Structures are given as structure tokens and as C-alpha cells.
Amino acid sequence: MSDTIGEFVLSTLGELNYDTSGVTDTTPLGDGGLELESLSLAEIAMHVEQQYGVQFDDEELESIGKLTFGEFVKVIGERSTGPAVTGQTA
């Protein structure tokens, strides 16, 4: 499942106009890597929540920027309830 999660996160980053061509598991999400800022991290977290049912509180959002891409994918996988069912309305 982690490959699927990684592909989802890369796709989401691409939709946010980030260049993901050289991203590996060791690429930092923040400084020295993708350079994601808090607004981008929050948007990615929102997409992850919708897709995998994983929630991050405000403190966690700040610390996500210190993770590598691989670490972030692993956290999502560990917390995931699986892909959300699409097409449902609230």
C-alpha cells in the first residue's frame, strides 16, 4: 500500500505545481528538499485525510515539514483506514 500512498502524495504535489521528478524516500518535505511551507503541508494533509482517513493536528502539521517523503508516506500507511470511498455525499 505504501507505493499507492507515495503515488497519491506525488500526484497531489504535482497538482500543487511542485516538481516531483527527483523525489525519493530520502527527499525532505521541508528545507533542503521540496521546500513545502505550512499552507502546502495543510493542503496535502487535507487531501490525505480525504483519501486515507488520516488526520493531523496543528502541531503535527508543523512537524511534517521535518520528515522525509518516505517517512511521511510511512506515517500515512501506519494510520490509514484505507482508501476512502469516493462518490459519497455528506
Query: Would you say the pTM of this structure is higher than 0.95?
Result: no
- 1-79: CATH topology is 1.10.1200
Q: CA-CA distance, 47 to 16, in Å (whole number)?
A: 11
Domain boundaries, given as residue ranges, for the chain: 1-79
State the Cα angle at 89 between 84 and 90, rounded to 5°. Answer: 100
pLDDT at 90: 37
pLDDT at 84: 55
Q: What is the pLDDT of residues 8-34, one digit of tens each?
A: 999 999 999 999 999 999 999 999 999
